[in-house]
Structure 1
Amino acid sequence: MAMIATVALTGCATSRSVVDPSIAASANPVQGKAVRIEKVVDARVFEKAPSEPSTPSLDPSEPTDDKIKARAIARKRNGYGKALGDVLLPENKTAANLVSDAVAEGFRASGYRVLVPGDAGFEQAIPVTADARQFWAWFTPGFWSITMSHRSEVKLDAPLPVLQSGKVVTAEAEDSRQAATESAWQEIVSKGMTELAKSVRAALQPAQ
Structure 2
Amino acid sequence: MNNISALISVRVMGICLAVAALAGCATGRDVIAPKFDAAVNPAQGVPVRIEKVEDARIFQIKPGSPSTPSLMDDNLSDEAIRSRAIARKRNGYGMALGDILVPEGQTIASLTQTVVARAFRENGFRVVAPTDADYARATPVTVRVNKLWAWLEMGFVLGVSSNYEVVLTGPIGPLQQGLTVNGQIRETAMVVTESVWSGIISKSLEDMYTNLKSRIGTAKP
Q: Same fold (TM over 0.5)?
A: yes
My pick for the range that moved more, 198-207 or 34-43, is: 198-207
Q: Aligned partners of 1:40, 1:201: CA distance in 2, in Å?
A: 18
Which moved further from structure 2: 61-70 or 130-139? 61-70
Instruction: Kindly report the root-mean-square deviation, in angstroms, between the aligned alpha carbons of the 2 structures.
Output: 2.0
Shift in Å at residue 206 of structure 1? 7.6
The answer to whether the 8 Å contact 2:46/2:219 transfers is no
Identify the residue that residue 7 of structure 2 maps to in structure 1. none
Identity level (%): 43
- Choose from 93, 98, 106 the match for 2:119: 106
Please, which of 182, 188, 194 is the counterpart of residue 194 of structure 2?
182
- Aligned 8 A contact 2:61 2:74 in 1: no
Contact 2:125–2:219 (8 Å) recurs in 1:
no
- Residue in structure 2 matched with residue 151 of structure 1 by the alignment: 163
Partner residue of 2:16? Answer: 5
Corresponding residue number in structure 2 for 1:82: 95
Comparing 5-14 with 45-54, greater Cα deviation is found at 5-14
Question: Structure 2 matches for 1:63-74, cutoff 5 A?
Answer: 65-74=78-87
Whether 1:52 aligns to 2:73 is no
Q: If each structure's helix is expressed as a fraction of its own residues, which one has the higher value? A: 2
Q: Report deviation, 1:75.
A: 0.6
C-alpha distance in 2, partners of 1:163/1:111? 16
Contact 1:141 1:147 in 2 (8 A): yes
1:168 matched residue in structure 2: 180
Q: Structure 2 stretches of 5 or more lacking a match?
A: 1-11
Question: C-alpha deviations, 1:143-197, integer Å up to 9, x for none?
Answer: 4x52221111111111112211111111222222222211211121111111111
Q: Residue type matched to 1:100 in 2?
A: Q
- The secondary structure found in structure 1 opposite 2:174 is coil
* Residues 123, 54 of structure 1: alpha-carbon distance in 2 compared, 3 angstrom cutoff: same
Please tell me whether the aligned partners of residues 162 and 206 of structure 1 are also in contact (alpha carbons under 8 angstroms). Answer: no
User: What corresponds to 1:140 in structure 2?
Assistant: 153
Report if the CA contact (8 A) 2:143-2:169 is conserved. yes
Change in 2 beyond 3 A, CA 1:197/1:180: same
Aligned length: 207
Distance across 1 between alignment mates of 2:124 and 2:162: 26
Structure with greater Cα Rg: 2
Distance in 1 between the 2:52 and 2:117 partners? 12
- Whether 1:196 and 2:208 are equivalent positions in the alignment is yes
